[in-house]
Each structure stands twice: as C-alpha cells, then as structure tokens.
Amino acid sequence: MGQRQSSHWISYIVRSVVLGLVVAAVVIWLQPMLSAWQSSRATPEQPVSYAKAVNRAAPAVVNIYSLSEVRGSYYSQRPNTVLRLGSGVIMDNVGHILTAAHVVANVSSIQVALQDGRQTSAQIIGVDPITDLAVLRIELDNLPIIPQDRKLRSRVGDVVLAIGNPLNLGQTITQGIISATGGRMGVINSHADLLQMDAVINEGASGGALVNSEGYLVGINNAQFRGPAGQGIEGIYFAVPYSLARDVMTQLIQEGEVVRGYFGINTSETPANLSFAQPGIFITGVDSNSPAERAGLRTEDYIIAIGGQPISSAAEGLALISNTRPGTELEVRFIRDDREQRTTAIITKLTN
C-alpha cells in the first residue's frame, strides 16, 4: 500500500506540474493580445474631425470688402459709401479668385484679405449674372490654392463644409450634407443648376468655398433660400457646383464673357393628368420671336430629344442648349396631340 500511495502522489505531482506549465505557456502566448485589448478599452476612440479638410482648404478662402456709393437722401445729396462683405476662393497661382457676382456688383473698389494677414486690392476680370459668379484677380506671390479635382462629382448625402467670413466675424466653418445636386434652377438670383445643402451661409459668406470632407472644392457658396415674403428659410442653402464654376471662370478669363445658347421656352413639371412613355420637357410657354417659336414649337408640346440626344429632364435639356454655340442647328423631337414630330431650331445667343 505504501508503494502504491507514493506512486499515486508522484503521478499527481507530475500531472500538476505539466498542467501548470501548459497554463503558463497559454498565458504568455495570450499576453500581447490581452494587453492590446486592455489598451483599446482604456483609450477612448479618436473623435470624428474635419481638421485635415479645413487645414487644406481654409487658407485659400479670402475675405472680400467692397465699397460702393449710393445716392443721398432727400435732405442730403451727398452720396453715401457702403461697405459690402463677401468671401472668395483662390483658384490658381496667378491670383484668380472666384466669388459671387452679387458681392462685387456695382462697386467702386475691392479689397481682399488673406488668412495669412496680407491685404491687397483686386480687379474684376469678368462677371456672369446667369450663374451669379465673378472672377477677380490679385497680384501677390506664394498664394494658397484651394484643392481641386476635376473628376470629382458630388452626391446626395456627401458631408460638406462651408467656409467664409459671415458678418465679418472672421473665417467661420459650418457643416452640413448635400440634399440635391441638380434641378434647383431659378430658386435664387442665380439661374444655374445648383447644389442644395444645409451648411449655413450667412451674409458675408457668399462667394466662399464649399468643400468636402477631404478639403476639395465642390462649390462656390451663394445664398440662403428665401420664401415668398422674402424671409430666409433655415436649412436650405445653395452653391454653384465646382465643375460649372470652373467652366465659367475659364470663359471669363479667356473671353471676358460667357457665351450661351438661347432657345426661348419655359418649362415645368409634367402635369399629372398627362402621361408619356419617356422622359422629356413639358413646354409651358414660348418666348416671342425666339428660336423655339420660329421652329414652330408651342405651349404644351413635349420635347423628348434635342440634337439627337434623348432628354431625361428639363435641367438636362436646358443645359444642353446653354452649352450649344449660337448659330448651331439642332433637330428637336417632340410630342403633340399624341404624335411624335420633328423640327429644326437655330440656337441664338443668350443675352443677359
């Protein structure tokens, strides 16, 4: 019995030692992962930040101070000098700045203040009332340039930051999302197809930059939407898309004006009591002596193709006409009295 008990205890001790060694090995093997897990539990997650985007874009957004003279009152014929606030975006290294046309319309002098403390006067290169855009130029070296990507296309739901100088408080950033990327023509002074977002644009921020979460320019800030009584509507703001703004800037620099095609129709949503098998443009009015009238088009005609290109919306069709050089002949396919017909229109130049 003594030998059996001794053998039993020796076996028990050996098994205990082996089990202890296995447990120790497992603990040592798991230690790095346990430490990493404890570290991740102890350290709070990095908060969401747009600091990188702001650092990339904000230096290229300038404050614009315009002086204009207004006629005096009945009691004083002396004209009054009025200071107008706005913002602008440095687009290239030779000093071209994009801003809103209403910021610099009918002014006597323009001063530009950079975020690095430099100030200088600016001259107007060109103004396009249709898109409410203007191009200025300053003569300074080592200019910060807004990040740009010509292939970039904004999407509904994209996070955007509006950078400007509202109420002359100094550079301010507001954040929102894009809720529409088209179909907003004519809702404010601009007749361009606009971006709609809820990033706040107060007085003085017009003409500033709308950038995405990486700091790339997606639009030039314009204005707040106003209701029938002229009151501002919270949460509805607009910007001219970057691609359109850049095209306008290029034409103003090279030509001094933006040349657009003119057709002469008014459009609206297709009435609910009418149904068509394909998308198009429902005509609600035709301008007198316009290319459309001379082509024989009438109110309630439904255009389905222009220049051989099917039309999916009024915005698309009007953009196609706008980009057509004056003097160009375009075939127009339309539906009248449930029959498809064709005509030819000669596009003329749109005058402001």
Active site residues per annotation: 102, 132, 206
Identity at 268, one-letter amino acid code: S
Give CA 28 to chain center in angstroms: 56
Taking alpha carbons only, the member of 197, 195, 208, 200 closest to residue 174 is: 200
Q: Are 246 and 258 in contact (CB under 8 A)?
A: no
CA distances from 115 to 62, 83, 88 (A): 7, 20, 12
Q: Which residues of 241-273 are buried (b: 16+ CB within 10 A; e: fewer)?
A: bbebbbebbebbbeeeebebbbbbbebeeeeee
Give CA 203 to chain center in angstroms: 18
Taking alpha carbons only, the member of 150, 115, 117, 122 closest to residue 136 is: 122
294: Cβ contacts below 8 Å, ≥ 6 apart: 345, 346
